Structure 1
Amino acid sequence: MRAITYSRYGGPEVLEPTDLPDPKVGPDSVLVRVRAASVNPVDWKVRAGYLDPLMDAVFPVTPGWDVAGVVERVGLDTPELQVGDEVFGYVRKDVLGGSVAGGTFAELVAAPVRTLARKPSAWSFEEAAAVPLAGLTAYQTIRRAGLEPGQTVLVHAAAGGVGSFAVQLARTLGARVIGTASQTNHEFLRSLGAEPVTYGEGLADRVRALAPDGVDVVLDYVGGDAVDSAPDVLRDGGTIASITDDRARELGGHYVWVRPDAADLAELARLGDAGELRPEIAEVFDLADAADAHRLSESGHVRGKIVVRV
């Protein structure tokens, strides 16, 4: 099969097309014919070696954890899925105690059934591939923070891949959403149901102008000043959940590392078919142009998700 791999840490230039053997399918896995994958910031952080203290790389590494495609073969014990099922998932595998191996930038991927759900009919393969890691991150941080109907939540980086899902999910709960974004993305946030504020100096004052008593929950998808400003924008008893900064725990909040979860994916799919969750796609690249997809992600100026068509 054709795949994109890298054999050493480095910049986007280390990504190269490679012919690999078709993956073996374990008893609790299925073989997925990949139609689309997507880029997340963690992909290029792993590629650059930034996460080497946490994860061993088994070179050559095939990047990518998001996938959408069609089940081509099933394992010995996978009653959840059948050949021909259209699926999507966050295929992070437990390999060698946390190694990076067998990613989704390939024509085929062997995926444990616990990482997959059926693709909603309302989404194309490209749209479905944009959802898993970012959508699960948003869903799981909201759940960990305990956001309830009627509460007010501040979403940092609200126009990004994770943030745009968090805005929509919070709105489905009946929460009021304030979102930080550059001025150019304010109209986009309004279209999702959020009240936009510009990040940067004076943020706390701008948030307090909208919510004088403070917000109930802060969702941090960017780090840095987002955590520093949390005490100034949270009401008494409010909480923060962060995916970037474990200092959130010092504030009595939560530090969240997203986990594959078939049931959570199925809930995102349900919301997709109900028209309550829609992916925002920034750009679609061909598999051969994966390096350019990584470059765009590294630029840090992306609204929504970057997708790779296989």
Structure 2
Amino acid sequence: MPSGTMKAIRVHEFGGPEVLRHDEVPIPEPGPGDVLVRVRAVGVNPPDWYVREGMRNIPPDKRPPLTLPAVLGTDVSGVVEAVAPDVRGFSVGDEVFGLLRFPSLEGSAYAEYVAAPAAHLAHKPDGVDHVRAAGVPMAGLTAWQFLIELGHDHPSPFQEAPHRPMALNDGTTVLINGAAGGVGHFALQLAKGKGARVIAVASGGHESFLRELGADEFIDYTKSRPEDVARDVDLVLDTVGGRDSGRLLRTLKHGGAVYPVFPGDHDADEVAQRGVTVSATQVRSNGPQLAELGRLLDAGALRVAVDSTYPLAEARAAHERAARGHIQGKIVLTVG
């Protein structure tokens, strides 16, 4: 097993992208149930900059504890370097990918090596390179757990009732708000795989990309408001959220549902009056579900769009790219 030090991206204080530091730190040792992964690529996700900023978008009483200095990151693709004695199913040299320790925010993936729970990993498909594999875990599992199968019984911080995905088929119409982003472009493909009709909402520059992925209808939100043109939708997957999100209720038919990936503003009286449902969950690490996504990737039934890549040492530039928005697919850090 490697010993000594490695490079990692850490925050020593909360703030903007400028607080990201390229540090020398000890190589972690895998504990029980862990494997040590030599990292080849890391996916960049919104929780990374939430942590960097000190979780200021979360009410103080709901913020998870954060200890500084902290290594950011949860999404990883790499090669197994060492395996704890109690781990089965993984061997040294295996190529793996995973969403690590989420939602605890202790994934520590922005590094050359990471100690990863074996239960959070899956074997990387042979036909998918590390860059694209690193773009899958959080975004892909979010789409899967919202749309296909929750896969766990942990209580949600967003609602008392467990989230139950709506059955999708060729009689279902799904509107995806923010369809070009990480979660959105996976959700579009998963919904199409179930036979659903998909309306993709994004800015105009993403239209050809989303139609290539299978979108049946495209709404350029810079020219038309979705609630003015879409009607009788069964399900809205809203990857944008925010104070203006309640307007999407107007697109739904009676009995429909909206799934807010990011917290939105939905008036309870209007929800009841329209006879619709608002349901959310929090994505969790899940190796078996990631293996299902891997099989779809291997079969060509799911593809990963990569917006841009940056070397690990340039994590600041990756976060600055994320802040500019209009992302098509995923931002990925390359390692080694």
Please tell me whether residue 69 in structure 1 is matched to residue 89 in structure 2. no
Q: CA deviation at 1:256?
A: 1.8
Q: Cα RMSD over matched residues? A: 1.7
- Paired with 1:162 and 1:93, the residues of 2 have a C-alpha distance of 16
**Aligned residue for 2:142?**
137
Please tell me whether residue 244 in structure 1 is matched to residue 249 in structure 2. no
Partner SS, residue 46 of structure 1: helix
Identity level (%): 45
Give the TM-score normalised by the residue count of structure 2: 0.86
- Paired with 2:255 and 2:122, the residues of 1 have a C-alpha distance of 36
CA distance change for structure 1 residues 232 and 179 in 2, over 3 Å: closer, same or farther? same
**Aligned residue for 1:22?**
27
- Paired with 2:181 and 2:102, the residues of 1 have a C-alpha distance of 25
- Paired with 1:71 and 1:162, the residues of 2 have a C-alpha distance of 27
Give the TM-score normalised by the residue count of structure 1: 0.92
Please tell me whether residue 41 in structure 1 is matched to residue 66 in structure 2. no
Higher helix fraction (1 or 2): 1
Aligned residue among 286, 304, 322 for 1:297: 322
Gaps of 5+ in 1: 209-213
**Aligned residue for 2:88?**
79
Q: CA deviation at 1:50?
A: 2.3
Please tell me whether residue 309 in structure 1 is matched to residue 334 in structure 2. yes
Please tell me whether residue 207 in structure 1 is matched to residue 230 in structure 2. yes
Q: CA deviation at 1:230?
A: 2.8
Aligned residues of 1:11 and 1:48 also touching (Cα < 8 A): yes
- Paired with 1:156 and 1:281, the residues of 2 have a C-alpha distance of 19
CA distance change for structure 1 residues 141 and 239 in 2, over 3 Å: closer, same or farther? same
Aligned residues of 1:91 and 1:260 also touching (Cα < 8 A): yes
Partner SS, residue 164 of structure 1: helix
Instruction: Point out 4+ residue stretches in structure 1 off by more than 3 angstroms.
Output: 246-251
Partner SS, residue 86 of structure 2: coil
- Paired with 1:33 and 1:17, the residues of 2 have a C-alpha distance of 17
CA distance change for structure 1 residues 80 and 186 in 2, over 3 Å: closer, same or farther? same
Aligned residues of 1:281 and 1:306 also touching (Cα < 8 A): yes
**Aligned residue for 2:290?**
265
CA distance change for structure 1 residues 85 and 226 in 2, over 3 Å: closer, same or farther? farther
Gaps of 5+ in 2: 1-5, 149-163, 272-276
**Aligned residue for 2:281?**
256
Please tell me whether residue 182 in structure 1 is matched to residue 191 in structure 2. no
Count of residues paired in the alignment: 301
**Aligned residue for 1:57?**
66
